[in-house]
Structure 1
Amino acid sequence: MPQLSVLDLVPVRSDQATGDALASTLSLARVADQLGYQRYWLAEHHNMPAVAATNPPVLIGLVAGATERIRVGSGGVMLPNHAPLVVAEQFALLEAAFPGRIDLGIGRAPGSDPVTSYALRHGAGGVSDEAVTRFPEYVDNVLAMMEPDGVGLSIQGRTYPLKATPGARGVPMIWLLGSSDYSARLAAEKGMPYVFAHHFSGSGTAEALALYRSTFKPSPELAEPRTFLTVNAVVAETEEEAARLALPQLQAMLALRTGQELSPQRLVEEAEKVELPPAHVEVVEAMAQRWVIGAPDQAKRRIDDLAAAYGVDEVMVHPVAGAYAGTEPGASPAREETLRLLV
C-alpha cells in the first residue's frame, strides 16, 4: 500500500449545524493521526451550503492543536482571494506553533462563485483577471516573505525589510495544486511539489503529471518531482453498504456539475428517496466508477492500482461517506470507518 493521507472539505449534513461539522472534522483528524496517516489537508470553498471549509488557516490551527504527529495543511489556499503577505503571515505563525507539521497548498481557482469572490476582496474587484494573471508573482511573494530573512520592499527609492514573522526557524512545505496543466507547468518551472485534483476532475491526471515530471527543473528545495494522488473514497464492510453510503455525496456532486440548487448533504435515507432522470443516473454512475467505493480488500486493491498507474507512493483519500438518520450530529462514523478499513 502507498502512504495514505486525508483531504477534508468539512461537509455539512442536513442534520448538522456548522459546529457539528467542525466537531466531526476534529474527530476524523484524531482518527487519522492515530492510524498513522501522513497528512491532513483542508480545502477552501465559500458560500456553499454543504461545505464548512471556508478558512483553511483557522481549520489548520484547530486540527493541528487537536492532533499530535500528523502533518496538517491546506488543500488548498486559493491565492487570488488573498493578499500574499496575509497568507505568508498566517502560515508562518502556524509553522512556528507546530514546527515541521504544516503544509501550504496553493491553488489558482476562486473556490466559489463570482459574487462571493468579489466580496472576498471587500468589493475591490473580486478575483480579477489581473489577480489570476499575476498568480506566479504572488506565489513567489509568499515563498520569499516566509523565508527567515524575509524580503526587501523598495518604495520611493528606499528598501524596507518585510518578514512574515519575526524569529522564524523554518517554513512550511509549499505545494502547488491544480486541475489543469497550468499549475503543472508552473510547479515544474519553479521546482515545487505538485498535486493534481484527481478527486474533483477525474480526467487529465496522467497528462498533467507527465507534463510536470517531464519539464521539472530542480530547485534548492526539491531535487526531483514530488506528487501524489487525490481520490474520493467510501469503504464499508460490504460493497453494498459502501454504495449506499456514497449516494449522498454522488448526488451533491451531480447537483454541482449540472447547475442544480446546492443544499446540505442529504442523509442516506433521504438520498435513497431521490429519483433521478436517466441522463443523471448515467452521470452518477460514471462518477462512481472513478471513486474508490467498496469493501476493504476491494478498496485497497483499487488504491494500489491507482498508485501504480500514476506512479505515486502517496494517495490522499477524501472520505465522502454519508450518514444514516439518527447519527450523532457531531460525528461522522462512516467517514472514520473508511479511514480505519484502509489501513
Structure 2
Amino acid sequence: SIAAFTTANTMEGSIKSWGTSLMASKAAEKTSAASSHEEPPNFVVDDFEEDSTSGKCMKTADVLSLDTIRKSLIRQEETIIFALIERSQFMQNRNVYQQGGLSELIGGVDQKETRSLLEYMLQGTEKLHCSVRRYTSPEEHAFFPELLAEKPLLQDLDYPELLSPIKDADKINYNSVLMSFYLSEIVPAISKSGDDEQYGSTVMADVAVLQALSKRAHFGKFVAESKYRSNPEEYQRLVDADDSEGVMELLTNSVVEEKVLRRAKLKAATYGREPMLANMPPIEGTDETCEIIAAAAASAVVAAVESVKKDGVKTKGKIDPAVIEGIYRDIVIPLTKDIEVAYLYRRCGRNPPEDLDPTWLA
C-alpha cells in the first residue's frame, strides 16, 4: 500500500540520518577526548563477541552451555547464507546430480562410472579433508564415511568427551536425509531452473553448502546433550515411555526458533545486496572503527528494509530473504530437532522410533 511504502521510505530516511548522526557524534567524542587527554567511552557492538586474547580457558560445562552453543550456531549462519548465495548464482544444472552423470559429462570414456558429478566431487573432497583429520572432530560428519578408511596424516587431537557414546549416540549421522532435502527442496528454491554449463563451479558450491548445513544440523547433538544435563530425569522418563512427541515438546524453544528465523531473513537481506554507499559520509583515517560500524549498520538496515518492501516495491537482491527463512523454518530447524530427539533416545539407552531413522527417512 501507499502507506506501507511511505513508512518504509520514512524509516529508510531515519536510518540514514541515524548513521550520519552517529558517525558525527563519534567524531565529536574522539575530538573531545583528544583535547582532554581522556579515552572515549567504549562502544559495545555485539554482546556475542569473545575476547580471543584474554587467554581464558573454558571447561566442558562452559562448552556445553546453551549460551555457548547458540553463539556458535549464530556464527554458522553467515557461512550457510553466504554458501547459499554462492550456489544461487548458478542454474540448477540437474545433470550434475544424475547417477552415472559423471560418465556422460566426461564424454562416456568410463562406462563403469556410476557416480554423479556431485558424488565424485564430494567424495574426493572428504578424502582430502579426512587426511588432515577433519572428521575426527565431533562437529564434523562425512557424507560418505564408509570411504574414509585412511588414517589422517596429522596426529589425533585430544577432544573432550562432550557427547555420550551410549548406543553410539555420538555417531548419529543424518547426512543422507540432508542430501535428499538439498537436492529436492533447497536447490530448486535458490537456483533458477535450466543449464548454464557451469558444472564444476556448481558442485564446488554444492559441497560448501552441504558441509555447512551438515555441521549446523548435527550441532543438535550438542544442544541435546546440554538439555539432557539440565533435566536428565524428565528426558529419561519420556524416553522410557517412548513418548517422542513429549521429548520434542520438552526440547523445543519457540522463542529462540523465532529469533533464528528473523535473524536469518535479516542477514540474507543484508548479505544478498551490494553495500549502500550513497548518502554515507566518507570514512577517513586508519582507525575509524566506530565510524565504520555506524556506516555498515545503517547500510545493512536500509538494505534489509528495502528488501522486504511489499506491494511490488522491492529491490532485487542476490537471493530472496524469504527463501532463506523458509529453508531454516522447513528444513534446518526440523532436521536439527529430529537429530536432538534421536540423540536423546540413544542417550537414554533406547533406539529412536522408526520415523527418526535416517536410513528410513532418506
**Counting helix residues as a fraction of each chain, which structure ranks higher?**
2
TM over 0.5: same fold? no
With the shorter chain as reference, the TM-score category is under 0.3
Normalising by structure 2, what TM-score? 0.25
Normalising by structure 1, what TM-score? 0.26
Larger Rg: 2
